[in-house]
Amino acid sequence: MKGADRCSNFAAYWRSAFPYMHYIDMIWFAVAVLFLVTKAMLYVYTISSIKRKCFTIESDNWLDAFEKISMEQPKQNVVLVASNDTRSPFAVGIMQKYIVIPAIMINTLDEEEIDFILRHKYCHALRNDVARKVIIVIFSCLNWFNPLYFLLKANLSAWIEIACDEMVTKSFDERQRKKYAGLIIKVLSLQNVPKEKHFYCICYSGDGIKSYKRRILDVLQEKKRKGILGKTIVSVLTIFLLIFGNMIAKEADIPVNMLFSDNVVVYDLNDPNLTIEIIEK
């Protein structure tokens, strides 16, 4: 209890030292709401753009591969479309799911590469990774002030990509693994081509060069679950940081009523001159 008392006294000291500290709560809440609303609007815009602008792929190679994968995997409400507004393939959608393929990629891949990409993106749909991404985005909005969370967020996104790579390549031989890694590099090269239009989306596609390097090394080295311990530790650390942050916020917080009333008095329970009268009914 002494530790809790010290924390409370520390928070009380800084509240008295900075009389406007109670505005921090309102600033945090306003920015968090602004981020949440912005992300929600951009997500709705992306889905509506897919419905309006994307077109059906007519290539037999893509359609045959997609149909084959759909029959092999548990049934999902997934639609395969193409777009001129993206340079990287991605999966998006929670109820109605879409696999969006860049138009420039349709005639540049062979049948095996098409199968690799569709299996990876279908894996995201199968695992409901977009819903997980939504949860990550919500936590990002709530922790917009916390740089440690954004470091953890990058790892969470990379792990989900790597998990799909592991599912797709679990039965691959060395040649297929090398070709799969080469495909990752090819997708990255296409993604870096300048393009004015692009989707903002809560989806799963490339997350940067570091993420691609991790994926390539994982595929080539055939790690397969060797990083479970590290992932578990960091996941526990993430939960700890969220809980610990809430505890600190609670201690540093002015009572909620103070936000709505000017007639609130805060008493220091450690004051020896304070007397509390208990009325028994």
State the sign of the Cα–Cα–Cα–Cα dihedral 92, 116, 118, 112: positive
Indicate if the pLDDT at residue 239 is higher than 60. no
Residue 267 CB-half CA count within 13 A: 8
Boundaries of every domain in the chain: 18-255
Cα-to-chain-centroid distance, residue 52 = 26
Tell whether pTM > 0.95: no
Whether the Cβ atoms of residue 243 and residue 193 lie closer than 8 Å to each other: no
Question: pLDDT > 90: what percent of the chain?
Answer: 28
Nearest 5 degrees, angle CA 85-CA 114-CA 101?
Answer: 15
Question: What are the CA-CA distances from residue 80 to residues 50, 65, 90, 197, 204 (Å)?
Answer: 11, 11, 11, 20, 15
The answer to which of 103-107, 145-149, 244-248, 270-274 has the lowest mean pLDDT is: 244-248
Question: Tell me: the pLDDT tens digits for 166-213?
Answer: 999 999 999 999 999 999 888 887 766 555 445 555 555 545 677 778
Cα-to-chain-centroid distance, residue 275 = 50
Averaged pLDDT for residues 252-258: 46
Residue with the bigger pLDDT between 210 and 128: it is 128
> What secondary structure letter does DSSP report for 270?
T
> How far is the C-alpha of 180 from the C-alpha of 110, rounded, in Å?
12
**pLDDT of the residue at 166:** 92
Which residues touch 167 (CB under 8 Å, ≥6 apart)? 123
**Tokens of residue 273, six digits:** 């001159």
The residue among 169, 164, 154 whose CA lies nearest residue 123 is 164
> How far is the C-alpha of 30 from the C-alpha of 24, rounded, in Å?
10
